[in-house]
């Protein structure tokens, strides 16, 4: 069967339109075990931004969490896994072999390349790529490579991932496996983990600048509102921002802090903020709500830290989205502070856990209208030049070209 185009189908199936003519574009199978969690807009948007390569999302199951209009999807199952499916998946993983249904599914898509997001899914996709003699490209995002490998082997990340370091090391020896690091910080972590430098490409994901753009009141006319957006986990460092806000609330009349996002630390953070006026926990927010919050914020703050496990930020897209929206950024995120802002021009960087420095930076942006305006005006241009989704995806397609040619 030759594939001309894909048509989006409900649930786990995908319908093919056939013809005697070969595809006009090479096909890349974008692998995620679950297609796709609500938080993975970056996977969807990058796939939609491909121009010379034709994407199809493949995986074990489609969970219908994230809208995927415009994309072809093919999975073995739909909805929550049954006990039988979980046991079968566990058996195949322990054997280090692909399930026949996954092999058949990917073979039917006829890709020239498999692109897996996260090292976790890279090791899952490798048996399929090996069986079909396809090159595999694995994008490393953060926790999959910055987390200390003995954290996995000790079982503290869950029993499923105790063999992850060994499996990652094993696929790194295969010449048909290459890696994308989303920032220089992630590349350094990959090198520290022993991955081959000649097969690591640094390619940012980028931001859809048509979806995030300046709007609302000019930054100097906005209320002194600080916005935090992220999962409420140790790595995001939200507790340090709440500590900082205690000082800011005294120094900046009417100062507000909106904490958007959810996670296991929410109750603990709410307890820390109890009795502190001006703090609002917004919970999980939609894409439209994020844009609305960006148009209200005077400054965006992401005080990320390296977690006990070693888990650290790669290059958080949210700080790019804030700048695309014309909002100055104050951050300690590893890749973000180094590559995601222009320190002093579009935002201000500070060292992890340095609450005094963070407080000083936030106070500057909140109280100095001229500084806030300069940063707000410079930020969208910086994102358009360095982090535009279409430009970044064009560079990724050149990696696709190279990896597919090298493996052929």
pLDDT 10s digit of each residue in the chain, 408 long?
223 233 333 333 333 333 334 458 999 999 999 999 888 999 999 999 999 999 999 999 998 889 999 999 999 988 777 778 777 777 777 777 888 999 999 999 999 999 999 999 999 999 999 999 999 999 999 999 999 999 999 999 998 899 999 999 999 999 999 999 999 999 999 999 999 999 999 999 999 998 899 999 999 999 999 999 999 999 999 999 999 999 999 999 899 999 999 999 999 999 999 999 999 999 999 889 999 999 999 999 999 999 999 999 999 999 999 999 999 999 999 888 889 999 999 999 999 999 999 999 999 999 999 999 999 999 999 999 999 999 999 999 999 999 999 876
Concatenate the DSSP letters of all residues of 239-251 into one string: HHHHHHHHHHHHH
Give the CATH number of domain 3-206+388-407: 3.40.50.2000
Amino acid 408: pLDDT:
64
* Spatial separation of the C-alpha atoms in residues 21 and 167, rounded to whole Å: 39
Burial 167-195 (b: 16+ CB within 10 A, else e): bbeebbeeebbbbbbbbbbbbbbbeebeb
Quick one: pLDDT at residue 170? 96
Residues 6+ apart with CB under 8 A from 307: 147, 233, 234, 235
Asked if 13 and 40 count as a contact pair (C-beta separation under 8 A), the reply is no
Chain centroid to CA 37: how far?
11
Q: How far apart are CA 297 and CA 310, in angstroms?
A: 31
Closest residue by Cα to residue 400 from 173, 198, 134, 43: 134
Give which of 315, 374, 394 is closest to 46, Cα–Cα. Answer: 394
- Structural domain spans, the chain: 3-206+388-407, 219-386
What residues have CB less than 8 Å from 249, skipping those under 6 apart? Answer: 255, 276, 277, 278
Q: Which class is 219-386 in CATH?
A: alpha beta
Q: What's the token pair of residue 235?
A: 């790595």
Same CATH topology for 3-206+388-407 and 219-386: the answer is: yes
Q: Please identify which residue in the block is written with the tokens 């856990």.
A: 353
């Amino acid at each position: 069967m030759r594939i001309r185009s894909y048509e989006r189908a409900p649930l786990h199936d995908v319908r093919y339109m056939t013809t005697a003519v070969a595809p006009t574009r090479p096909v890349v199978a974008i692998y995620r075990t679950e297609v796709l969690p609500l938080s993975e807009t970056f996977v969807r948007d990058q796939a939609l931004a491909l121009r010379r390569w034709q994407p199809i999302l493949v995986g074990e199951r489609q969970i219908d969490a994230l809208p995927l209009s415009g994309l072809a999807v093919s999975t073995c199952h739909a909805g929550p896994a049954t006990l039988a499916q979980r046991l079968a998946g566990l058996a195949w993983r322990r054997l280090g072999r692909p399930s026949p249904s996954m092999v058949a599914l990917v073979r039917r898509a006829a890709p020239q390349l498999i692109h897996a997001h996260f090292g976790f899914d890279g090791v899952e996709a490798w048996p399929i790529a090996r069986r079909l003699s396809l090159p595999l490209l694995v994008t490393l995002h953060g926790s999959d490579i910055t987390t200390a490998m003995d954290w996995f082997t000790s079982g503290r990340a869950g029993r499923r991932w105790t063999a992850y370091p060994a499996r990652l090391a094993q696929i790194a020896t295969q010449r048909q496996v290459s890696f994308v690091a989303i920032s220089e910080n992630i590349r350094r972590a990959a090198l520290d983990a022993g991955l081959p430098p000649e097969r690591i490409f640094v390619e940012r994901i980028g931001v859809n600048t048509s979806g995030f753009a300046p709007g609302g009141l000019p930054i100097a006319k906005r209320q002194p509102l600080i916005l935090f957006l992220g999962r409420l986990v140790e790595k995001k460092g939200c507790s340090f921002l709440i500590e900082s806000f205690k000082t800011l609330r005294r120094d900046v009349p009417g100062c507000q802090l909106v904490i958007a996002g959810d996670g296991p630390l929410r109750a603990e953070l709410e307890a820390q903020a109890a009795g502190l006026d001006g703090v609002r926990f917004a919970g999980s927010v939609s894409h439209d709500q994020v844009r609305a919050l960006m148009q209200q914020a005077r400054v965006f703050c992401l005080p990320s830290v390296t977690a006990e496990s070693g888990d650290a930020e790669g290059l958080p897209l949210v700080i790019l989205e804030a700048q695309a929206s014309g909002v100055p950024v104050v951050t300690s995120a590893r890749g973000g502070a180094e590559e995601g802002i222009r320190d002093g021009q579009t935002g201000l960087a500070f060292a992890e856990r340095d609450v005094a420095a963070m407080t000083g930076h936030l106070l500057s942006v909140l109280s100095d209208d001229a500084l806030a305006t300069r940063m707000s005006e410079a930020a969208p241009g910086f994102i358009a030049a360095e982090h535009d989704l279409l430009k970044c995806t064009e560079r990724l397609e050149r990696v696709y070209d190279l990896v597919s040619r090298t493996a052929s």
